[in-house]
Amino acid sequence: MALILPGGPSWAHYIDNITIGAAYLDSGVAVTAALGNTKGSTVTILPALAHDIEYLRLGIHRFAIDNHTTGSLATLLDIMIDPAGGTSWNSEPLIPNLLAGSSSAMAIESAGTAGAGYWYDFPIWVPAGASLGARAQTAYTVDLTGRVIVQGYGGNRNPASWWCGQHVTAIGPDTSASKGVMVTLATTPSFSSWADFSTPTTVDARAVQFASQGEADASYANTTNYLQFGISGTQIGPNLVRGLSSYEITGAIPTGPVFIDIPAGTQLQARGCRSYGSAGANDAAVYLGH
């Protein structure tokens, strides 16, 4: 008998929170990150869903202050859920502590355009009827208001072609300073040595997202940073490329969804390089889908 192949994903449903007619700069829903490294109020970013979501894509931008001179813009953002479709959010985030600070605004300039500072891709199941919210915290001296874009896909015609989990576990974020683990960077084209990244994993993961934020201080260098994540000295997933400016505004080339089995107890590693020799270490985080 011939081998039966399931075919690729074929999404029947799609939803986003883009307002037709809104300015490019105002794409998504406004969320205020509270100062003092304390989570602010939760804002609804998707109301009660008419269908399941099996692939959730998040764009984060505008958690920044152009050319500021004091304090760290480090910011963490949670994705919250109310399974009943209202605003009675579960106490535990659906996706915790996403790096979000120093994120470039989606803006149109004379010489080109800037997209969202962060893109995250999560193969995760969100049931029909649930609502999604977001809340954030920042290390900066005043509240920061950024925006969160949501794109959701569901109703896959070929379920065997697409794995999705129900939980995300974050490794690395430090809620006391709204930043991730600091990763040492060498000067390109050389990478720093592989170093253990935070603590070993605590769950059996099937997908992963990587993130870097900035230098977690009040002064960035104009540089392009390249981060790699690995296990036992072998890289997993693509390079994470993040551009930083002296205005402390950053943007990145997203990795897209990364599917890989990572057993509980695995020690992840990280290393990096930078295009400018005097640039500092970058903070980073890892998000495990399970």
Q: pLDDT tens digits for 246-277? A: 888 888 998 999 999 999 999 999 999 999 88
Q: What is the pLDDT of residue 107?
A: 83
Are 140 and 65 in contact, with CB atoms under 8 Å apart?
yes
- The Cβ of residue 285 has, within 10 Å, a number of other Cβ atoms equal to 24
Nearest CA to 173 out of 72, 31, 76, 270 is that of: 76
Query: Which residues pair with residue 289 across a beta bridge?
Result: 168, 207
Whether 2 is covered by a domain: the verdict is no
Please tell me the total count of domains within the chain.
1
Q: What is the pLDDT of residue 200?
A: 97
C-beta contacts of 5-8 below 8 A and 24+ residues apart = 6/158, 6/159, 6/160, 6/161, 7/157, 7/158, 7/161, 8/158, 8/161
Q: What is the pLDDT of residue 110?
A: 65
Whether 195 is covered by a domain: the verdict is yes
Q: Which residues of the chain have pLDDT under 70?
A: 1-6, 67-69, 110-113
Which residues does 246 contact at the CB level (< 8 Å), separation at least 6? 219, 220, 221, 222
Amino acid identity at 102: S
Query: Which residues pair with residue 234 across a beta bridge?
Result: 231
Whether 179 is covered by a domain: the verdict is yes
Q: Tokens representing 142?
A: 């005043």
| C-alpha span between 167 and 201 (Å, rounded) | 14
Q: What is the pLDDT of residue 217?
A: 83
Whether 5 is covered by a domain: the verdict is no
Q: What is the pLDDT of residue 245?
A: 86
Q: Tokens representing 260?
A: 């890989």
Domain that holds residue 235: 11-289
Q: What is the pLDDT of residue 1?
A: 47
Are 150 and 17 in contact, with CB atoms under 8 Å apart?
yes
Whether 6 is covered by a domain: the verdict is no
| C-alpha span between 114 and 131 (Å, rounded) | 29
Whether 81 is covered by a domain: the verdict is yes
Whether 4 is covered by a domain: the verdict is no
